[in-house]
Amino acid sequence: MAAMALCRAAAGGKRPAGRALLALLKCEMLCSRRCLVTSRQLYSVVHDPDEKTFEKLLIANRGEIACRVIKTCKKMGIKTVAIHSDVDANAVHVKMADEAVCVGPAPTSKSYLNMDAIMEVIKKTRAQAVSLNESICCSCFIYRKQKSQSLYFFLKVHPGYGFLSENKEFARRLASEGVTFIGPDTCAIQAMGDKIESKLLAKKAKVNTIPGFDGVVKDADEAVRIAREIGYPVMIKASAGGGGKGMRIAWDDEETREGFRFSSQEAASSFGDDRLLIEKFIDNPRHIEIQVLADKHGNALWLNERECSIQRRNQKVVEEAPSTFLDPETRRAMGEQAVALAKAVKYSSAGTVEFLVDSSKNFYFLEMNTRLQVEHPVTECITGLDLVQEMIRVAKGYPLRHKQADIPISGWAVECRVYAEDPYKSFGLPSIGRLSQYQEPLHLPSVRVDSGIQQGSDISIYYDPMISKLITYGSNRAEALKRMEEALDNYVIRGVTHNISLLREVIIHPRFVQGDISTKFLPEVYPDGFKGHKLTDLERRELLATAASLYVAEQLRSQRFLGTPRIPIAKSQRNTWELSVHLEDGVYPVAVSKNGSSFSVEVDGIKLNVTSEWNLASPLLSVTIDGTQRTIQRLSRNATGNTSIQFLGTVYKLQILTKVAAELSKYMPEKAAEDTSSILRSPMPGAVVAVSVKPGDTVSEGQEICVIEAMKMQNSMIAAKTGKVKAVHCKAGDTVGEGDLLVELE
Amino acid sequence: VASAVRVSRAPAQPHRCVTEQAGKKGESRCISPRGCRKASLRRRCPGARPRRGERGKLTARERILLLLDPDSFDEYDMFVEHRCSDFGMDSDKNKYPGDSVVTGRGRINGRLAYVFSQDFTVFGGSLSGAHAQKICKRNVLCSGVVPQISLIMGPCAGGAVYSPALTDFTFMVKDTSYLFITGPDVVKSVTNEDVTQEQLGGAKTHTAVSGVAHRAFENDIDALLNLREFFNYLPLSNRDPAPVCECHDPSNRLVPELETVVPIESTKAYDMLDIIYSIVDEREFFEIMPFYARNIVVGFARMNGRTVGIVGNQPKVASGCLDINSSVKGARFVRFCDAFNIPLITFVDVPGFLPGTAQEYGGIIRHGAKLLFAFAEATVPKITIITRKAYGGAYDVMSSKHLRGDANYAWPTAEVAVMGAKGAVQIIFRGKQTDAEAEYVDKFANPFPAAMRGFVDDIIQPSTTRMRICHDLDVLASKAQSNPWKKHANIPL
């Protein structure tokens, strides 16, 4: 299998390889019959078959990352063991792995986080392995999402107790079973997992940390002195105050004095603790991280940076490598510091050092992630390395094969995280459902999709709603972004709400295109929330013309019957159609006339020529409007002319009627809209955690009625008006779908 | 010869609109197909839109205009007047050419249809002798000869309700149409029951509770445009094959999501509509009675362009078991398809008939027999796919091999047996402690015993289902099967 893949890769390596020191090979994975997912790889598959490696690997994870690891294992000839929960029995990672063991029911705490069950699987599979004289190793390729309680944690983190202690326990148990853990050793994980300790270590390794002072400040003059030492702007707050509470930003001495006055008062009165925290304030920070790779022989490399500034609720959405912002000097400085830190903690395996970078290219250490990260593919694309392969090699004890000088930046790679979520609700609230249609844009060049789902998969409330990571590669940023646009347009996802519209808007936004981004990009660009693509006049005409042409094509087809009926079918002599199209808040008269296979459409007095194959069954429709090629998706249609079309990433709802029908429709009765103030519907699928009212209770506006938990987020549902509770349709522990009626008020 | 002439002359699609008591004279619409006729209508046609529209309804002629292809309507009997003379009805101002109904012939997507549209603006669309004569060109004898559809677009009460009841499909418009034998006033005076028109005979009542109507639509325009689409599924008469439309969906398309649609736990529900939508052409399925007896799904779709009737148990509702209502719903649909040469595709996941006194007292035996009878009697191509459970008598009823099924397939998840493991073991071992349940599951809860006996023709990979059905339909297109001569069969009504 691996050998075949290699041959294919070598034969198909059309890309000029000379530019890169390592040939960047595209390889379409040959999938066995059991594996229905194919994926194009954008990293090296160079593998020395003589190099001894592990015989069998257990992948303690699910979804796309499990699939990603299995792919590399297949190439390296390593047998794989997948673990899964009962609802995941049909999951792609289970089908791809050589063996699969169920470790418990759907909730992660009972399955993927169930250490006992996983240890049991390790023992069980090892029992077989012993007879085969195989060594087993347990890989914990677990993603770490920034500060969120990621479900991908192998060991769950609750605010109350850190995962580290438990992780140590797991590592100890692995060690006692003689099982190798693919990743850094325990002390590095421990050191980097602790915020304070990691900062101290970083300081010791001469890594830039955010300069600051934490202690009792005597008076305003001392505060000014400290602030000057740190350099403006600075942030002043009471040490005891959590988060950003009572935080003040000072840009000069005057503001520092003022800040000192308020903060020290607050510190004394609110917390009874005089200590103040004065820290460098990082204005418009970018989140840039350095990928490092280290072996057990003291060698360490930095594999360039990843720009991850586009975030929502501290979760990354769009990542790219390299960053538009770094110059070679800054990059080298960051890389060298990252390597210094890795060496200082005797780090082995792949890791990521996260930095905040301010507008003057000063960078400050944030934290180090001791895991393979979600966005690792962009690094693989520009360096040509397979990080998973390198991690496995390092775990086996091999030294690194590359020197720092061998690490190129060839081309540009962009990654979009495609989520099953509704981007119109605070940039993404989870959505669930069954993928009734699913088609990855792998027919396009230089596109890589890392996914762990397939047509028919369920996106459930139990796990992360990520559908896939869509990565495009180009010789430069513009090319990579252009390909991303096309890839997003050609991505077919039906059955769940997805965030393609947001992703596409981000990558074409002028600020993003110029590289003018920060972690506040989304709230700055969409202060009132994301509303979808705003059509220009030209785009609106294109959409109207396309929709009208589709309607006419459909009408014409419905008059074509095969065979010869007893009563002849009257052939329509009609060549022109007068239509009325309702789009957003406008109604547009549209005239369509047919010339052969193309349509001439008049909108707003302007004629457009629309050509296409008019294949009405294909999920993707390529349309040429006056020479501009567009890939659109018609998501639904009905007899009444209601059509929803995905155009430029955003889904538009249109109603197309003949002129006569449109004129008559004004006589149709308006349907009374549901009074939404007296009913509470679930805004997303999830589980009811608590219901705080019962029928007959009087609630006041803004009072909490119940709490819905979805994807580990607790959402408080509040009353929209004051009233008496008429009926409660849910109870704690219930699973509810989006739009389900929860509570009715009188 | 006589019957042949009748059929060729009357591939009618009588479209009925029963209307309400509301209008005043002189308000009929002036959208007239012929200029010369327009003159004869002019005196009754002030040109302004009548009040009907303000109340959210279309006039008789507007309905025809929307339903039929442009300029295809040929009107009949426009000059007929009522012959009533009592109470001053014979005065000139009470005479209307055409009386209270518009009748004629037209085309829907090029195909012939006969239409009548009752005009509420003339005597509230009430049935006069002349009116009845105009529409009497359609009657019970047409049943099973040409498909007949009624669209109820206003209140329809008393004996008039039997006219739509005799047709093959009755559709209603939400909030504006009602069907009842006696209105709320009479109900109040006879039984002292307080009930609104909507509760008594509104679209919701008839599509969800009584099963009188087959679908309800949002408004008149929605209803008429849907009717155009629905018409395309139907053959013009019982002498015509099911229509075949141009199709862009490949007949050999694999459907990988079907591999995972049936849950691993055999007690867990799934949505049969997921299977239907993914198998049929372009995910288009015109469901009949979607809110009535939801434990069975019936409706029309196309396979490689050809109209098919689909019957499927719905595991999501009452585990997909058969009961009185679902049997009757299924039986009527199957008989319609059989009458009009529409092949039947049946998806089976049925744990059995619903047990209990309510069902037995209600006559589940004779009602269940209707579905059995309908499938057994049907001579159209019959293709059956067992997706999961197929237990006992209910298995037999659902277009099994024993009822002359042409192609019967089982998915690997199929369980074909007399009864479920638990019940069977309880009966076999009479309460003795035993672990025979697992053995029973092992032995019978799979498709092999049935396949070994030839009760299923093949065990197929779910993803290939569409391909198999399309191929079979091609082969079966020329199927000719006839039942012995009879005056008519005696289905257990």
Q: What is the ipTM of this complex?
A: 0.86
Question: What average pLDDT score do residues B5-21 get?
Answer: 29
Rounded to an integer, what distance in angstroms lies between the CA atom of residue A235 and that of residue A279?
Answer: 5
Residue A645 burial by CB count (10 A; 0-12/13-18/19+): exposed, middle or buried?
buried
What one-letter code names the amino acid at B183? Answer: G
Quick: pLDDT tens for B230-256. 999 999 999 989 999 999 999 999 999
Residue A209 burial by CB count (10 A; 0-12/13-18/19+): exposed, middle or buried?
middle
Percent of chain A with pLDDT strictly greater than 70: 84
Distance from CA of A560 to the nearest CA of B (A): 6
Asked if pLDDT for residue A117 goes beyond 90, the answer is: no
Which residue blocks in B43-181 are alpha helix, DSSP H? 51-54, 60-67, 129-135, 162-166
pLDDT at B20: 31
Percent of chain B with pLDDT strictly greater than 90: 54
Short-list B365, B374, B373, B371, CA closest to B293:
B371
- How far apart, in Å, are the Cα atoms of A486 and each of A262, A314, A377, A440, A477? 53, 27, 19, 12, 14
Rounded to an integer, what distance in angstroms lies between the CA atom of residue A93 and that of residue A377?
Answer: 18
Other beta carbons less than 10 A from residue A172's beta carbon: 11
**Whether A565 contacts chain B with CB within 8 A:** yes
Contact A641, B191 (CB under 8 A): no
Nearest CA in chain A to B226: A639
Q: Among A69-78, A370-379, A507-516, B35-44, whose mean pLDDT is lowest?
A: B35-44
Rounded to an integer, what distance in angstroms lies between the CA atom of residue A600 and that of residue A626?
Answer: 10
List, edge to edge, every strand of the sheet that includes B111-118.
B74-76, B101-108, B111-118
pLDDT greater at residue A80 or residue A737: A80
pLDDT greater at residue B413 or residue A701: B413
Rounded to an integer, what distance in angstroms lies between the CA atom of residue A583 and that of residue A656?
Answer: 9
Distance from CA of A25 to the nearest CA of B (A): 29
Short-list B411, B376, B405, B365, CA closest to B390:
B411
Rounded to an integer, what distance in angstroms lies between the CA atom of residue B158 and that of residue B124?
Answer: 14
- CB-based contacts of A423, cutoff 8 Å, min separation 6: A499, A501, A502, A530
**Whether A559 contacts chain B with CB within 8 A:** yes
Of the residues B88, B159, B431, B454, only one is catalytic, namely B159
* Composition of chain B by helix, strand, coil, percent to 5: 40, 20, 45
Contact A319, A375 (CB under 8 A): yes
| Confidence grade of residue A3 (pLDDT, cut at 50, 70, 90) | very low
Peptide bond into A233 cis (omega under 30): yes
pLDDT greater at residue B398 or residue A210: B398
- CB-based contacts of A458, cutoff 8 Å, min separation 6: A87, A432, A433, A434, A435, B260
Of A560, A566, A618, nearest to B246 by CB-CB distance is A560
DSSP per-residue string spanning A110-174: GTTT-HHHHHHHHHHHHHHHHHHT--EEEE------SSS--TT-SS--BTTB-HHHHHHHHHHHH
Q: Which of residues 638-697 of A touch B (CB under 8 A)?
A: 638-641, 657, 660-661, 664-665, 667-669, 671
Asked if pLDDT for residue A631 goes beyond 70, the answer is: yes
Peptide bond into A322 cis (omega under 30): yes
Task: Write down how long chain A is.
Answer: 746
Asked if pLDDT for residue A297 goes beyond 60, the answer is: yes
pLDDT at B120: 65
**Whether B221 contacts chain A with CB within 8 A:** yes
Nearest CA in chain A to B258: A456
pLDDT greater at residue B10 or residue B316: B316
Rounded to an integer, what distance in angstroms lies between the CA atom of residue A342 and that of residue A296?
Answer: 11
- A257 among known catalytic residues: no
Quick: pLDDT tens for B249-279. 999 999 998 998 998 888 888 999 999 999 9
- How far apart, in Å, are the Cα atoms of B103 and each of A227, B57, B273? 91, 19, 38
Other beta carbons less than 10 A from residue A435's beta carbon: 23
Residues facing residue A205 across a β-bridge:
none
Distance from CA of A557 to the nearest CA of B (A): 7
φ/ψ bin of A33: left (φ > 0), alpha (ψ from -120 to 50), beta (otherwise) = alpha
| Confidence grade of residue B459 (pLDDT, cut at 50, 70, 90) | very high
pLDDT at A166: 38
Q: Which positions in chain A touch B48 (Cβ < 8 Å)?
A: none
Rounded to an integer, what distance in angstroms lies between the CA atom of residue A445 and that of residue A40?
Answer: 9
Asked if pLDDT for residue A4 goes beyond 50, the answer is: no
Rounded to an integer, what distance in angstroms lies between the CA atom of residue B302 and that of residue B475?
Answer: 16
Of A89, A438, A616, nearest to B282 by CB-CB distance is A616
pLDDT at A339: 94
Q: Do A617 and B249 touch (CB under 8 A)?
A: yes
Of B53, B240, B274, nearest to A667 by CB-CB distance is B53
Nearest CA in chain B to A561: B245
Question: What average pLDDT score do residues A287-306 get?
Answer: 93
pLDDT greater at residue B54 or residue A363: A363
| Confidence grade of residue B26 (pLDDT, cut at 50, 70, 90) | very low
Percent of chain B with pLDDT strictly greater than 70: 80
Of A560, A572, A664, nearest to B66 by CB-CB distance is A664
Contact A341, A322 (CB under 8 A): no
Relative to beta strand B306-313, strand B407-410 is unpaired
Q: Do B264 and A569 touch (CB under 8 A)?
A: no
Rounded to an integer, what distance in angstroms lies between the CA atom of residue A543 and that of residue A518?
Answer: 33
pLDDT greater at residue A70 or residue A284: A70
- Please state the pTM of the whole predicted model: 0.82
Q: Do B240 and A86 touch (CB under 8 A)?
A: no
DSSP per-residue string spanning B118-147: E-TTTGGG---HHHHHHHTTS-GGGTTTS-
**Most confident option among A132-136, A426-430, A636-640:** A636-640
Q: Which of residues 242-271 of B touch A (CB under 8 A)?
A: 243-250, 256-261, 264
Asked if pLDDT for residue A570 goes beyond 90, the answer is: no
What one-letter code names the amino acid at A297? Answer: H
**Whether B377 contacts chain A with CB within 8 A:** no
Interface test with B, best of A439, A459, A638, A668 (most B CBs within 10 A): A668
Asked if pLDDT for residue A156 goes beyond 70, the answer is: no
